[in-house]
Amino acid sequence: MYFLNILKPKGMSSFDVIRNLRKKLKIKSIGHSGTLDPLASGVLQIGVGKATKLLDYLESDKEYIADIKFGYTTETFDCEGDKKFIKKPSFLESDLEKILHSFIGKSLQTPPKYSAIKQNGKKLCDIIRNNPNVELDIKKREIEIYSIQLLDYNGFDEAKIKVLCKKGTYIRSLVNDIGEKLTCGAYLSNLIRTKAGNFTIENAQDLDSEFVKINPLNVLNLEKLELNDNEFKRIIQGNHIKTDKNFNKSNILLTKNNKLVSIANLSDNLIKPKRLFFEGIV
């Protein structure tokens, strides 16, 4: 049971990465947190074995570096779609900075129709590819962008930005919305995820590496309680225990000999196990 910080290459889907790892590690139980489009590269959080059950507890804020092309739009909001000319860009760097700043904070965003979001059990991208003329009712979602930094601008039709945002933000949609506000259109030409929670691109490994196994206790940002022998026996039998200690969150990690035993729920000083992970603990 461990995590991996994988550097997903451009051109490979997130599930392609899982398929590759299953063959290499000879383990079927492998999952990821936060899908990356084939166009994108960068950090992919991987859970192996029982760590797949812990993926939802990882820190989920994301950081991206995105390349933008102005003057055109595409149906996919990225360079893979057919390009439609809107108009020649004619804005100042200060105009771009102002527009970028307007997206900081919480807002409602319409996800791309070419996405893995499901509608009636089917992915939107599959629905639209099977029936290009279908009318889709895509619900807007609340997103939150913490910061946007303009890294580079060629003074005409290309820019590079860094975005720190909450999980669930579509950078393709953000770029499309930026183009709409500038009235010249825009699409995403390249995307790199540089950070996902505590996983950074500096420590990410490619698929040909000898992988460094990441102990869940080192990356799960939850408070811990070391169990004594009696508490341990009760927890692994599915029973609750009492505590007088104060915790800031309702989810806590229970450990024994510095090994993860359980994700537990704390309510009214009662700790109840939600998932058990103990293996070979003495």
Q: Which residues are catalytic?
A: 37
| C-alpha–C-alpha distance, residues 273 and 237, integer Å | 9
